[in-house]
């Protein structure tokens, strides 16, 4: 990992021009006033100077590529894509600094920060009901996974037994076999569908049907009971007529407005109805993605454990159906913050978190969930996808756009992204890259926790990535890096199941 050079300043970046906005106070003006300001420490790559706010979504036009020798002196290798609002307080400044120090600062400071992050005590006035701390479940010596019997105190032995394949193909793992197998459609009905979806944290099922399976082995339904689905099936050598269950737990991935501009533009209401705005202390801090009436997917680094106030769920507000920060509807309250226990703030691996909302969201034309992908769903190199968020509009600006921005980006093969010319092996199996290797279209300067969505063959939009980190803005060979949702589906579904309403 490249080391941080304290004498190196952030390089320039280039943004799109959007319609004129009313003047906003800069972050430093809001915090310190117009007079002399204290000199901040050296800045992270994405953090505007004097002092560092949390970064915001920023849509870029093709930029001038920096010479190769510039790449050797980057301020830091990785930088968080997170941002703060126009009105600041000391609390927001501290949050900005916490994310600045605690997320993606390279090896020199990240090791210390990681120690803070990994060992901060969860019992310092932050009850378990608000923050999910690293879960070390207590299990008996005779624990058997997926036998429909809760052997562990938190139930983790039964929380990763269901997944979905292509076309919603339901697959269940049982203790009888240990493999994920399709469920035979014979005997299946709406009651089974509703109970299975409720088991996964959804309110009920949306649609179910029979699909043909090429597998010779399947799971037949036995006597109906109150057990989880893994306790209501038996391994069978085949399914009658090869008919197996397809199940959809939620109507998702539908846009109400579909006109889009490739180069980056201001989004319209209904274009990205799953995009959420997460506010802390009255300002937009991160993006989020609605995936069900009760759950929001976002980035783990939006909640640095070294900054305790941000771990208090009651301090957050979630806004949906927002395309302007000047026109906010009534917010949703947060009941619990669930940060991935395996999130590594040094390498950015498994940068994902879930918010459980205090009450379910009512879907409208402007507020709709994105679809979670199938466990094996892939989008090949060159697939055109979209990312969105609230962003700055001027080069190096700390002032955020009031408008929701959108930009098209291309999926980049991970082997290319890990090459020596790009990120030199820093992209893990839980990450993916998207952007333009020639420079230009990018999701730099933020909206940490915002969506990367791709349109599947059924024309529904799948949540493929969560905005995580990157270097620069629109530079050649420096695409955006996203948490790969399909790799972390077991974690997402297990947490939704354990926190099911």
Burial class for 58, CB neighbours closer than 10 Å (0-12, 13-18, 19+): buried
Q: What value, to the nearest 5°, has the Cα angle with vertex 289 and ends 350 and 411? A: 65
Measured between alpha carbons, how far is 412 from 121 in angstroms, rounded to an integer? Answer: 39
Q: Which of 301, 309, 313 is nearest to 94 (CA)?
A: 309
| Cβ proximity of 95 and 84 under 8 Å | yes
301 is catalytic: yes
The catalytic residue among 301, 403, 436, 468 is 301
Please state the φ and ψ torsions of residue 498, each to the nearest 5 degrees.
-65, -25
139 to 155, 291, 496: CA distances (angstroms): 9, 30, 20
Measured between alpha carbons, how far is 409 from 433 in angstroms, rounded to an integer? Answer: 9
The catalytic residue among 157, 349, 351, 447 is 351
Burial class for 129, CB neighbours closer than 10 Å (0-12, 13-18, 19+): exposed
151 is catalytic: no
Q: Which of 176, 192, 178, 300 is nearest to 244 (CA)?
A: 192
283 is catalytic: no
Strands 207-212 and 400-412: unpaired
DSSP bridge pairs for 461: 455
Here the tokens at position 343 are: 């999130």
Measured between alpha carbons, how far is 489 from 190 in angstroms, rounded to an integer? Answer: 24
Q: Report CA Rg, the chain.
A: 23
The catalytic residue among 246, 292, 448, 494 is 448
| Cβ proximity of 361 and 320 under 8 Å | yes
Which residues carry out catalysis? 301, 351, 448
């Amino acid at each position: 990992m490249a080391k941080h050079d304290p004498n190196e300043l952030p390089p320039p970046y280039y943004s799109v021009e959007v319609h004129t906005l009313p003047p906003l106070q800069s972050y430093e003006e809001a915090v310190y006033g117009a007079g002399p300001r204290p000199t901040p420490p050296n800045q992270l790559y994405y953090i505007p100077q004097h002092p560092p706010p949390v970064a915001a979504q920023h849509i870029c036009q093709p930029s001038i590529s920096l010479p190769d020798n510039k790449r050797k002196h980057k301020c830091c290798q990785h930088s968080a894509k997170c941002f703060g609002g126009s009105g600041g307080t000391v609390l927001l400044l501290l949050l900005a600094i916490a994310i600045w120090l605690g997320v993606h600062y390279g090896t020199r400071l990240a090791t210390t920060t990681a120690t803070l992050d990994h060992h901060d005590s969860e019992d310092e006035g932050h009850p378990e009901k608000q923050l999910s701390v690293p879960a070390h479940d207590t299990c008996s010596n005779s624990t058997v996974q997926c036998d429909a019997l809760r052997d562990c105190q938190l139930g983790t032995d039964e929380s990763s037994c269901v997944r979905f394949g292509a076309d919603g193909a339901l697959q269940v793992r049982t203790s009888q076999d240990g493999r994920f197998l399709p469920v035979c459609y014979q005997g299946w009905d709406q009651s089974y569908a509703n109970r299975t979806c409720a088991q996964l944290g959804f309110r009920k099922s949306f649609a179910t049907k029979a699909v043909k399976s090429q597998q010779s082995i399947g799971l037949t339904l036995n006597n109906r009971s109150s057990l989880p689905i893994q306790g209501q099936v038996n391994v069978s050598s085949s399914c009658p007529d090869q008919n197996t269950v397809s199940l959809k737990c939620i109507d998702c991935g539908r846009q109400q407005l579909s006109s889009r501009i490739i180069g980056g533009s201001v989004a319209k209401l209904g274009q990205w109805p799953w995009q959420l705005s997460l506010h802390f202390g009255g300002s937009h801090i991160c993006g989020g993605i609605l995936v069900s009436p009760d759950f929001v997917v976002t980035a783990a680094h939006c909640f640095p454990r070294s900054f305790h106030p941000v771990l208090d769920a009651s301090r957050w507000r979630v806004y949906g159906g927002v395309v302007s920060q000047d026109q906010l509807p009534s917010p949703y309250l947060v009941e619990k913050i669930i940060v991935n226990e395996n999130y590594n703030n040094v390498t950015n691996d498994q940068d994902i978190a879930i918010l459980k909302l205090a009450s379910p969201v009512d879907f409208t034309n402007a507020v709709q969930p994105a679809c979670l992908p199938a466990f094996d769903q892939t989008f090949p190199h060159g697939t055109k996808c979209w990312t969105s968020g609230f962003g700055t509009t001027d080069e190096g600006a700390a002032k955020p756009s009031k408008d929701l921005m959108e930009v098209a980006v291309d999926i980049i093969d991970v082997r290319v992204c890990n090459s020596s010319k790009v990120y030199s092996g820093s992209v893990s199996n839980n990450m993916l890259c998207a952007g333009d290797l020639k420079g230009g279209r990018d999701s730099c300067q933020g909206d940490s926790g915002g969506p990367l969505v791709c349109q599947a063959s059924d024309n529904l939009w799948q949540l493929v990535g969560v905005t995580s980190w990157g270097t620069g803005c629109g530079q050649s060979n420096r695409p955006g890096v996203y948490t790969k949702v399909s790799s972390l589906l077991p974690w997402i579904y297990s947490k939704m199941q354990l926190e099911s309403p």
